[in-house]
Amino acid sequence: MDNAERATGHATDWAGAATVVIRPARVDDAAAMAAYMTALAAEKLDTLSPAEPTSAADERERVLRSRISDRLLILLAVHGEALAGIASLAGGRRTDDRHAGRLGLSVARAWRGRGVGRLLLGATIEEARSWPGFCRIELECAPWNAPAIALYENLGFMLEGRRRKALDLRGEPEDMLLMSL
């Protein structure tokens, strides 16, 4: 994906309709990305492993890596100056796993249930299909995160299995669902 904004979509905000632009992360987004991740971590969501606060320097390094890698994608959903969501896809680097990648997806609280996740995921899938030899996106999802499961299934992801007692999210081991496209 080049630096141009590739996809624009509409998601509903509290005032009605708002334009959300889906674009690759840029180095100058690092501080906003770190603030977003810190806010996400403060929510203590139990939908997947807790988000970890990051620094602007950490996010800057991650964005720089995505710019030089042909197997790392970071897309942002942006409304004005605010981040509405982040998607990342890390493709394999070895010969035997370059065809696959792991998806990370999060949406800011104010934008959940308004189509931002669908826009981000759609743009991520579209970009991944342009990677030579790439044919698999995989993810993990908490079994009680019904909205996320519905979104993934609607976009063609299939349930592959369950990792029993995979993560300690709420003080005891919890299962995680494995899904792929």
Q: How far apart are CA 64 and CA 41, in angstroms?
A: 23
Distance separating alpha carbons of residues 91 and 151, to the nearest angstrom: 21
Q: What angle do CA 168, 172, 178 make, to 5 degrees?
A: 50
pTM of the entire structure? 0.81
pLDDT in tens, the chain (181 residues): 443 344 555 555 545 556 889 999 998 998 888 888 888 877 766 555 445 556 677 776 766 666 666 678 999 999 988 999 999 998 877 777 778 889 999 999 889 888 999 999 999 999 999 888 888 999 999 898 899 999 999 999 999 999 999 887 668 888 899 999 9
Domain that includes residue 27, residue range? 7-137
Answer whether 25's CB lies under 8 Å from 56's CB: no
Residue 149 lies in a domain: no
74 lies in a domain? yes
**Total tally of structural domains belonging to the chain:** 1
Residue 142 inside a domain? The answer is no
For residue 71, the domain's CATH number is: 3.40.630.30
78 by DSSP, 3-state: which?
Answer: strand
As a whole number of angstroms, the distance between CA 83 and CA 22 comes to: 10
34 located within any domain:
yes
